[in-house]
Amino acid sequence: MTNGDTTGNAAQPLLASRGLVKAHGRTEALRGASVELRAGEILAVTGASGSGKSTLLHCLAGIVRPDAGSVTYAGRRLEELPEKRLSELRRTDFGVVFQFGQLIPELTALDNVALPLMLAGAGRVEARARAGEWLERFGVRGQEELRPGAMSGGQAQRASLARALVTGPKVVFADEPTGALDSLSAEQVMTALAHTARESGTAVLLVTHDAQVAAYADREVRLRDGAVAPLGVTA
């Protein structure tokens, strides 16, 4: 039976943290969190508000540097990478989806999704064509030329997923991706994310407080007070 971040699996984890510590001012958000994400796996990180879930995601995604502990991605220690290399890695290997607000309001859905490709060097025509394919894959049809403000929450979030996945990342970090959605929109977003990730072999680190969202994952790690809590043994 799985029990949190059990190690000893034959497959080397794609992404792993060891003893992460991170304080925001005087509040310790992480107190020695160790987790592992294997290639192609969907891992849910659950826990109550304030348990350190989002801080853990930020550290694993190289957005925030921990005060202590290490993050290893594909054999590389993130804390040893200079900022330039780290942001390059984030652009090429990582995709990020937040609860809301990450689409650029001035750009259409299509241009939002095309942007990461253009930043990676693709021409505008090619980038827009591929962006269109990804939007269609996520069921955003007939809204390609709308700006985020004119789209429904579910449609905008699916466009965000398309943007996170369009560059073919190895890992997608999703922080409460359905937090602002009604239950049916949440189901559509999660189904699209889980299917696409499994199809393309993309690993997903899914932060959620919602058990029904966590149930889309292959495995769960629970945080309590900034560290991994035991899950309990059923057999």
Instruction: Tell me whether residue 117 or residue 213 sits nearer to other proteins (CB atom).
Output: 213
Q: Which amino acid is at 68?
A: A
Which residues, in sequence order, are CB contacts of 60 under 8 Å at separation 6+? 15, 17, 35, 37, 71, 173, 205
Interacting residue with other proteins among 21, 39, 107, 231 (CB under 8 A):
231
Told to check if 76 binds other proteins by CB under 8 A, we report: no
Told to check if 40 binds other proteins by CB under 8 A, we report: no
Q: Which stretch binds other proteins (CB under 8 A): 76-84, 119-127, 146-154, 209-217?
A: 209-217
Told to check if 191 binds other proteins by CB under 8 A, we report: yes
Interacting residue with other proteins among 1, 25, 83, 149 (CB under 8 A):
1
DSSP strand pairing (171-175 vs 219-224) = unpaired
Minimum gap (Å) between residue 151 Cβ and other proteins: 23
Told to check if 217 binds other proteins by CB under 8 A, we report: yes
H/E run at residue 90: helix 83-93
Q: Please, how many CA atoms are within 13 Å of residue 130, restricted to the half-sphere of its CB?
A: 16
Instruction: Give just the sign of the alpha carbon dihedral 209, 211, 217, 220.
Output: positive
Instruction: Tell me whether residue 142 or residue 230 sits nearer to other proteins (CB atom).
Output: 230
Instruction: Tell me whether residue 152 or residue 212 sits nearer to other proteins (CB atom).
Output: 212
Residue 144: other Cβ atoms inside 10 A = 18
H/E run at residue 50: none
Minimum gap (Å) between residue 186 Cβ and other proteins: 12
Residues forming the site for other proteins (CB under 8 A): 1, 48, 187, 190-191, 194-195, 211-212, 214-218, 220, 230-234
